[in-house]
Amino acid sequence: MAGGALAHRNFSYSRLQTFKQCPAQYRFRYIDHLKPTGRSIESFLGICQHQTLEWLYRERLAGHEVIFDQVLERYRAIWSDGWGDDIRIARPSWSTDDYYQLGMRSLAGFYRQYAPFKEPVAGTEQSLSFDLDGSGRYPMRAILDRLDHHGGGHWSIHDYKTGRRVLTPTQAQGDLQMKVYFQALLATREDVDQVDVVWHFLRHGLEVRLNRVEWNSKRIIGMLGKRIDQVREAEKRPETLEPNETVLCNWCYYWDVCQAKQGQEHPAQVAG
Ligand code: SF4
User: Per-residue pLDDT tens for 60-88?
Assistant: 999 999 999 999 999 999 999 999 999 99
Query: Please, where in the chain does CATH 3.90.320.10 lie?
Result: 121-229
Nearest CA owner, ligand 1 atom 7: 249
Q: Any residues with CB less than 8 A from the CB of 216 and at least 6 apart, and which? A: none
142 pairs with which residues across the strands?
A: 128
Write out pLDDT tens, residues 12-26: 999 999 999 999 999
CATH level 3 topology of 121-229: Lambda Exonuclease; Chain A (3.90.320)
pTM: 0.94
- Residue 142, ligand 1, Cβ within 6 A: no
pLDDT under 70 in the chain at which residues? 1-8
Check pocket membership of 22 for ligand 1, CB cut-off 6 A. yes
87 C-alpha to center of ligand 1: Å?
Answer: 18
Distance CA 173, CA 77 (A): 37
In the three-class reduction of DSSP (H, G, I as helix; E, B as strand; rest coil), residue 146 is classed as strand
Burial 1-32, CB ≥16 within 10 A → b, else e: eeeeeeeeeebbbebbebbeebbbbbbbbbee
